[in-house]
Chains A and B, each alone.
Chain A
Amino acid sequence: MRYILTLFAFLILSTHVFAAEVVTVRIKGMVCDFCAQSVTKVYMKNDDVQNVSVDLDTQTITLNMKDGAIISDDEVKKGVHYAGYDFVDLERTDNE
């Protein structure tokens, strides 16, 4: 019984540990598709990023990470600055 409970708890926890993280980043300065392409190129160089989408209306970029992969706040900020824009804030969610 204890074994079954332990296994059950592990399965519940592992869905969160190995879920793909989604990082939504708000930035300033993106005004056109060339801007969107710059930012996308920067993050797609990171092997842990599955894909990148850009919303010019809300000035946000969404990083869909590969299962179990993480990207630190520092890496996110560096990517924004490297692409030539200003970082505002970010939000992390799980893509379940």
Chain B
Amino acid sequence: MTMNDVDNNSSHIHYSPTARYSVGWRHEYFRDSTAHADTAQINYLAKRWNGNQSQANIYIKTGAGLAYDESDVSPAVFGGIAADWETRRYFTSYQNRFFYADDIEKNAQHRTRLGIAPYIGDTGDLHTWMMLQADYDAGMDDNFSLTPLVRFFKGSHLMEAGYNLDNGVLFNYVHRF
């Protein structure tokens, strides 16, 4: 999957041996500090609630690797929690991420999303979501930003596109295989 948001661009590839966890690799570029990081990541599904037409999850995400810029290299670690609740019509999520790589890059991010599906499609149809994402980044000059976005979802492909007046384009793509 590839992601581009208020502060960084990232690419991820993950493998899920079971529904409980995934392991993978992540490369990211922090636009403010012009630093890069390559990290191994584990996502663990700590708890899931399966409702009649709903699902809620809590994930723990953590990783470690190296961060580097033009002149320096440093070990990097990060961790955070993600939670979501969704039905086929409504979506809400919250996640945080705390990243530390000494003087190269440090950040503490919080993100929440609210979404609604204007129509409910059948299995295999093109699914569309309208979402609003709110970000808070303690390390940025503009701590708070809002990004309206649209999500398209068909089969094993998911794409999100949005525009934030302060930070530009948001684009995410996930391919599940």
Contact = CB atoms under 8 A, between A and B. Distances in A.
Given A56-B122, A56-B123, A29 B50 contact: yes
A65 interface: no
Contacts, number: 56
Interface residues of B, number: 25
B153 A32 contact: yes
A59 B87 CA distance: 12
Interface stretch (B51-59, B69-77, B99-107, B133-141): B51-59
A82 B19 contact: yes
Interface residues of A, number: 23
A96 B176 CA distance: 35
Interface string B8-52: 000000000011100000000000000000000000010011111
Interface string A7-24: 000000000000000000
A5 B127 CA distance: 57
A28 B52 contact: yes
Given A31-B87, A31-B88, A38 B123 contact: no
A86 interface: yes
Contacts of B156: 33-34, 37
Contacts of B122: 56-57
Given A33-B124, A37-B156, A28 B176 contact: no
A31 B53 contact: yes
A84 interface: yes
Interface of B: 18-20, 45, 48-55, 86-88, 122-124, 127, 153-156, 158, 176
> Which 6 residue pairs are nearest across A and B when measured between Cβ atoms?
A29-B50, A84-B19, A86-B50, A28-B50, A29-B55, A31-B55
7 contacts: A28-B51, A32-B88, A35-B55, A37-B155, A56-B122, A82-B19, A85-B50
